[in-house]
Amino acid sequence: MEELNQEKLVKTPKSRLVKVTFYITYAFLLTTATVTFIEAMRNKDPGIRHILNLETCISVVAAFFYTQFMKKINDYDAQNKEINYKERWDESYSVLITYADNIYKNGEATLITLEEILSKYFGSLSKVIHILPFLKSTSDGGFAVSSYDSLEEKFGSWNDLKSISKNHDLMADLVLNHVSSSHPWVQQFIKSEEPGMSNVFSPNQNLDWSNVVRPRSSSLFSQINTDQGPKQVWTTFGPDQIDLNWHNPKMTLEFLNLIITYLTNGIKWFRLDAVGFIWKESGTTCLHLPKAHSIVKILRVLLNDLLEDGVLITETNVPQKENLSYLIPDDEAHMAYNFPLPPLLLEAIITSRADILNSWIFDWPKLTDNTTLFNFTASHDGVGLRALEGLMSDQRIKDLLINCEKRGGLVSHRRLSNGDDKPYELNISWWSAMEDSSRDTNRYQFERFILTQLLVMALKGVPAFYLPALLASENDIKNFSKTGQRRDLNREKFKLDNLLSVLNNPESNANKNLEYLRRAMDIRSELEQFHPRSEMKCLSKGRSDIVVIKRGIGPKSIYAIHNMTDNKINYQLNDNDLQEKINNDFNMKDFLTTAKYALNNISLDPFQVIWLGSL
């Protein structure tokens, strides 16, 4: 706790620290009131019950007064605080998504290896580093956490994380929904001990769970043999991931401790993994319930009070309206994963048919300046399909699955309430997905890949890039054959010596990808038109062959123009902000290449992208 006074936290005003102590005290008082009330109901001794009831009343009254104190502090802050939106992100921000051991060197902690290679090869693509789960775990790529106290030994130490944070903002996962079956809480549950008995979610199966929305085809409940006999526990994502009981008010305090640990070790951005599933109630879908939103609000308040520029990011692989429900209120998440983008862009680039993508960008959601979207294509998970619900027809989704299977991809399913299985995500490396359908699979593969990443940079929000994708990782058939886990197709690990040979080879795909995209991100970082709060408009709605995104307002706007086909096309840019420039002179330039263009005759090669602006 002493380290809370270091680095960024040293700038935290005293009022913030006071509020945090009030919130913690308030939570403890409510917890005490709940426990004493339950114990009073259980106890048969009138004298003891009287004492417990008295303690319950005292705790409730004290908690009420603490809420009044907090309200006064919040009212004061609201009147006196000036919010600087550029504190959290600007046009120079990008996120590099990587596992702690995506790059490894024998005999060296992988976080040390990662730090050595970041600045030299990834540069502006890695202002923020999202290091996927690094705590001790038993499965699911680290998402079955078995300890909140220590890292996997092969990754390194907390100090190694802190070292990376000196030159990069760090992003980490809060796996709120579940823990590993090996976690101490589950082991305590088996022995009928606290806090495990209160922290593991084991509801009455006689209640109505028929409407639960599932992300998997595995069983909703798994049996655990305890010292009191077999018990059924809730397992949203599989038998090694035991769901937590957020009905227990102490759960917030447990994760507050983890947040503080993260903060003291340089982590500022927090990804709320599968947050929509955390609250369960009988007779409901158990997805995005109001209490789940309330928990996100509480976490945001706590984070804002601990760190001025902390960022809370929700990860909900669901249809767009549900996904945005964590951003629209403006008091929940700061950012949300933009789940419709990967499948829409994938379908457009594979088929050269961007009509749905154009319509979707045209209807971009209106968000406040204090929230934005996390734009990405590839990630450690598959390409989610739920986000396509209401956006793409079943036939086009089916064609997308077939096209990806032809490129070596697989399809994972989820179970519906009627027992049917439905496609849930595509498992394929993004680089392999860029292959051509002709005999020459490498035809335009590089151009397709670059286009998709540049489009991510052009959109309103913060762009994110997946390390294996940047390194032109193909479907990892070898690893998948070992584990049987479909997501492992897209989770290749790179031995440092071999990787350096590839990166230092100017003819390698990895070298070409990084050189091009690093330079593009350098250019983007100098153009305020790409700030996440800068205006955006799609000028190509109704077209399939091209995507044109306007960023900014007025004559200084930038036009990101993407040829989505393998044909050369000519395009005439029409926009009211450019009326005075419509002539035959070459009065516009491509910021990516410095080539000059006339508005009425823009020629684009297959899958070419230009960022057009005034000279």
The answer to whether 612 touches 551, Cβ cutoff 8 Å, is: no
What pLDDT, on the 0 to 100 scale, is given for residue 104? Answer: 98
DSSP state of 556: T
Which tens digits make up the pLDDT trace of 448-507?
999 999 999 999 999 999 999 999 999 999 999 999 999 999 999 999 999 999 999 999
| Residue that the structure tokens 């699911």 belong to | 140
Instruction: Extract the tokens encoding 504.
Output: 């230092």
Asked if the model's pLDDT at residue 378 lies above 90, the reply is yes
Per-residue burial over 210-219, b if 16 or more Cβ lie within 10 Å, else e, is eebbbbbbee
Average pLDDT rounded to a whole number, residues 360-371: 96
CA distance 458 to 544: 18
- Helix, coil or strand: residue 547: strand
Tell me the pLDDT band of 10, cut-offs 50, 70 and 90.
Answer: very low
Here the contacts of 106-109 (C-beta below 8 Å, separation 24 or greater) are: 106/495, 109/154, 109/155, 109/156, 109/157, 109/160
- pTM (global) more than 0.95: no
Instruction: Extract the tokens encoding 437.
Output: 């359908």
The answer to whether 12 touches 77, Cβ cutoff 8 Å, is: no
Average pLDDT rounded to a whole number, residues 585-603: 90
The fourth-level CATH superfamily of domain 86-181+243-530 is Glycosidases (3.20.20.80)
CA distance 70 to 253: 18
The answer to whether 175 touches 217, Cβ cutoff 8 Å, is: no
Average pLDDT rounded to a whole number, residues 213-223: 95
| Residue that the structure tokens 């009044």 belong to | 68
Asked if the model's pLDDT at residue 376 lies above 50, the reply is yes
What pLDDT, on the 0 to 100 scale, is given for residue 371? Answer: 96
What pLDDT, on the 0 to 100 scale, is given for residue 31? Answer: 74
Tell me the pLDDT band of 73, cut-offs 50, 70 and 90.
Answer: low
Main-chain phi, psi angles of 404, to 5 degrees: -75, -35
Instruction: Extract the tokens encoding 250.
Output: 């102490």
Asked if the model's pLDDT at residue 61 lies above 80, the reply is no
What pLDDT, on the 0 to 100 scale, is given for residue 581? Answer: 57
Residue whose C-alpha is closest to residue 455's, from 380, 526, 520: 520
What pLDDT, on the 0 to 100 scale, is given for residue 82? Answer: 39
The active-site residue out of 273, 305, 381, 590 is 273
The continuous run of DSSP H or E covering 382 comes out as none
Which tens digits make up the pLDDT trace of 172-185?
999 999 999 999 99
Angle at 611 between CA 391 and CA 433, to 5 degrees: 45
Query: Maximum Cα–Cα distance for the chain, whole Å?
Result: 95
CA distances from 501 to 85, 102, 112, 511 (A): 42, 16, 19, 10
CA distance 549 to 560: 5
Which tens digits make up the pLDDT trace of 23-42?
677 677 777 777 777 777 77
The full DSSP string for 454-482 is HHHHHSSSEEEEEHHHHTTPPP-HHHHHH
CA distances from 613 to 53, 447, 536, 564, 607 (A): 71, 22, 14, 20, 19
Percent of the chain with pLDDT over 70: 91
Percent of the chain with pLDDT over 90: 80
Which tens digits make up the pLDDT trace of 241-290?
999 999 998 999 999 999 999 999 999 999 999 999 999 999 999 999 99
Please name every residue paired with 585 in a beta bridge, in sequence order, or none if there are none: none
CA distance 24 to 568: 62
Asked if the model's pLDDT at residue 12 lies above 60, the reply is no
Asked if the model's pLDDT at residue 136 lies above 80, the reply is yes
Angle at 197 between CA 195 and CA 198, to 5 degrees: 70
Which tens digits make up the pLDDT trace of 286-313?
999 999 999 999 999 999 989 989 999 9
What pLDDT, on the 0 to 100 scale, is given for residue 69? Answer: 62
| Residue that the structure tokens 């070790």 belong to | 265
Instruction: Extract the tokens encoding 352.
Output: 């050269």
The answer to whether 311 touches 335, Cβ cutoff 8 Å, is: yes
What pLDDT, on the 0 to 100 scale, is given for residue 600? Answer: 83
Average pLDDT rounded to a whole number, residues 58-74: 69
What pLDDT, on the 0 to 100 scale, is given for residue 85? Answer: 41
What pLDDT, on the 0 to 100 scale, is given for residue 8? Answer: 43
The full DSSP string for 44-113 is --HHHHHHHHHHHHHHHHHHHHHHHHHHHHHHHHHHHPPP-GGGT--TT--EEEE-TTSEEBTTB-HHHH
Main-chain phi, psi angles of 315, to 5 degrees: -120, 100
Asked if the model's pLDDT at residue 102 lies above 90, the reply is yes
Which tens digits make up the pLDDT trace of 142-158?
999 999 999 999 999 99
Q: Average pLDDT of the chain?
A: 91
Tell me the pLDDT band of 7, cut-offs 50, 70 and 90.
Answer: very low
Please name every residue paired with 103 in a beta bridge, in sequence order, or none if there are none: 494
Instruction: Extract the tokens encoding 27.
Output: 């939570």
What pLDDT, on the 0 to 100 scale, is given for residue 86? Answer: 41
Of residues 416 and 84, the one with the higher pLDDT is: 416
Main-chain phi, psi angles of 188, to 5 degrees: -65, -40
What pLDDT, on the 0 to 100 scale, is given for residue 11? Answer: 43
Q: Which residue type, as a one-letter code, is found at position 358?
A: N
CA distance 229 to 225: 6
Asked if the model's pLDDT at residue 411 lies above 90, the reply is yes
The answer to whether 524 touches 375, Cβ cutoff 8 Å, is: no
Residue 273 catalytic?
yes
Tell me the pLDDT band of 114, cut-offs 50, 70 and 90.
Answer: very high
Residue whose C-alpha is closest to residue 592's, from 491, 518, 507, 508: 518
Instruction: Extract the tokens encoding 320.
Output: 């767009």
- Identify whether 195 is preceded by a cis peptide bond (ω within 30 of 0): yes
What pLDDT, on the 0 to 100 scale, is given for residue 2? Answer: 39
CA distance 328 to 339: 16
Of residues 79 and 209, the one with the higher pLDDT is: 209
Tell me the pLDDT band of 579, cut-offs 50, 70 and 90.
Answer: low
536-614: CATH topology is Immunoglobulin-like (2.60.40)
Which class for 76: exposed (0-12), middle (13-18), buried (19 or more C-beta within 10 A)? Answer: exposed
What pLDDT, on the 0 to 100 scale, is given for residue 74? Answer: 65
What pLDDT, on the 0 to 100 scale, is given for residue 563? Answer: 98
CA distance 131 to 97: 6
